[in-house]
Amino acid sequence: MKKYDVIIVGAGPAGGVCARELSATGRKVLLVEKAKDFFANDFSSGGSTLETLKTFDLPESVVGAFCKQVRISSSEESHLWRSADPIAIVFDFRKLRTFLADETSNNGSDLLFASSYQGYETQDGIILVSFKKSGTRTIEQFQTKVLVDATGSERKVLSHGAPRHQNAIVGTGIEFLVEVPEEVYRSHAECLSFFIGQRWMPQGYAWIFPMEANRLKVGVGRNYPNEQVVPHQKSFRFYLDRLMSACLQTDAITILDQHGKTLSYTSHQRDRYFDKNIIAIGDAVSTVNPLTFEGIRHAMMSGRVAALHVNNLLDNKIVNFQGYKVAMRRMSGFKWIVSEQLTQNIYREADDQKVNLMLGALKSFTMETLLDLVFYYRLKSAVKFYAAYTGLRLKAALTRSG
Ligand SMILES: Cc1cc2nc3c(=O)[nH]c(=O)nc-3n(C[C@H](O)[C@H](O)[C@H](O)COP(=O)(O)OP(=O)(O)OC[C@H]3O[C@@H](n4cnc5c(N)ncnc54)[C@H](O)[C@@H]3O)c2cc1C
């Protein structure tokens, strides 16, 4: 049986960064992924901040497009924010994960694809982990000192894929990768476009992101209090078709790929972070932001913080992962709670007039304050948004009452 210092289950952004950083420090890592390759689960839109590249020392080859503009449209109007320089990127999610896995392998560690985590048992402080090769009955077992749950919202290892928490914010996103004529592409290139309101997606939002030449990502996502309550009459496809017909305005659309996934965020991030030598990272501990469902860079950061603590545990500098939990909670904690509140107010607002006023409130924002709100979740920008929105609602009420 092969022995490892660390086995990481799940080769998403969290698992990939954790594996890359641990293997770079000389640890013997096994990174396991249930998909047969990264084409098979290319589910994420990949929007992120520009500085993510620098923070994680990533090459430009993992980027699908650089963006200088943000557009937000409600059911009735639209507003565009521009910058002279790129302010955001759209990752090519497949290339990002391929890069992280390749780096892990180049650092001398092992990769195992098409292998699904089955369970673990502990013997004298050593963890024995079982995987099933997909399409076969073959079970392989490996030994490790530390086991990392990087299975995303599935939370397969530490929470045993337990049913989602009662207070989870669950969101499903479905996206098409489409090829369009050059002139259509040009009008969407360099722009992250978001659509809110009943016309585009009740209790959610829609988006169009650019990728490399002539390719766009067109997606819709819904968010609902729990899986039992899905108060939606029309299908995802209905809204995707509406978005494409309203915004791309061409019949010459080729759908190259369709993908999607359901994410679950546990309210106040009340997830299990660790148990003895097992630690959970990324969406398995709700690093995804509940307002935007932007999770790549937060997942990668948790992978990095975890790698640091795993190294300390293996060097006997710490006795458990409590410090990791504290560090993670400190990083997102209150900001994520504010985002939960904004989620309730924005996506669950059924009245399009109020959604229009929300866009009206945002119009007073500069690009910088907008980014503070949607990418950095700064309290100051949330307060500014609420103040402007409340002002506009009062004004509208006064106008109505004559
Ligand atoms: C439609 C959609 C659009 C999104 N758009 C954006 C965006 O624009 N920007 C952004 O930042 N975030 C976006 N997100 C969120 C983002 O993709 C996630 O937050 C991020 O991928 C989380 O990373 P992770 O590594 O924690 O989990 P994941 O990326 O989910 O990776 C978990 C991995 O574990 C593997 N796995 C699961 N179970 C097992 C098992 N039993 N055995 C072995 N392997 C297993 C999975 O196959 C997967 O590869 C989007 C999500 C969706 C659904």
What confidence tens digit (pLDDT) does each residue in 124-133 have?
Answer: 889 999 999 9
Cβ density class 367-387: b for 16+ within 10 Å, e for less = eebbbbbbbebeeebbebbee
Question: Is the CB of 101 within 6 Å of ligand 1?
Answer: no
Predicted TM-score of the model (pTM): 0.95
Query: Do 14 and 283 touch, CB atoms closer than 8 A?
Result: yes
Interval between CA 398 and ligand 1 midpoint (Å): 46
Please list the ranges in the chain whose pLDDT falls under 50: 226-227
Tell me what pLDDT residue 166 has: 65
Tell me what pLDDT residue 158 has: 92
Mutate to test the pocket of ligand 1, among 116, 148, 151, 217 (most ligand atoms within 8 A of CB): 151
Tell me what pLDDT residue 400 has: 83
Tell me what pLDDT residue 125 has: 83
Mutate to test the pocket of ligand 1, among 49, 157, 177, 283 (most ligand atoms within 8 A of CB): 283
Question: Is the CB of 9 within 6 Å of ligand 1?
Answer: yes
Question: Is the CB of 260 within 6 Å of ligand 1?
Answer: yes
Q: What values do phi and psi take at 31, rounded to 5?
A: -105, 120
Query: Do 324 and 306 touch, CB atoms closer than 8 A?
Result: yes
Q: Which two tokens stand for residue 239?
A: 């809204």
Which atom of ligand 1 is the closest one to the Cα of 281? 26
Interval between CA 115 and ligand 1 midpoint (Å): 17
Which atom of ligand 1 is the closest one to the Cα of 288? 19
Which atom of ligand 1 is the closest one to the Cα of 302? 26
Question: Is the CB of 154 within 6 Å of ligand 1?
Answer: yes
Which atom of ligand 1 is the closest one to the Cα of 261? 53
Using CA positions, which residue lies closest to atom 13 of ligand 1? 294
Interval between CA 20 and ligand 1 midpoint (Å): 17
Interval between CA 343 and ligand 1 midpoint (Å): 20
Q: How far apart are CA 72 and CA 255, in angstroms?
A: 24
Using CA positions, which residue lies closest to atom 30 of ligand 1? 152
Mutate to test the pocket of ligand 1, among 20, 31, 37, 45 (most ligand atoms within 8 A of CB): 45
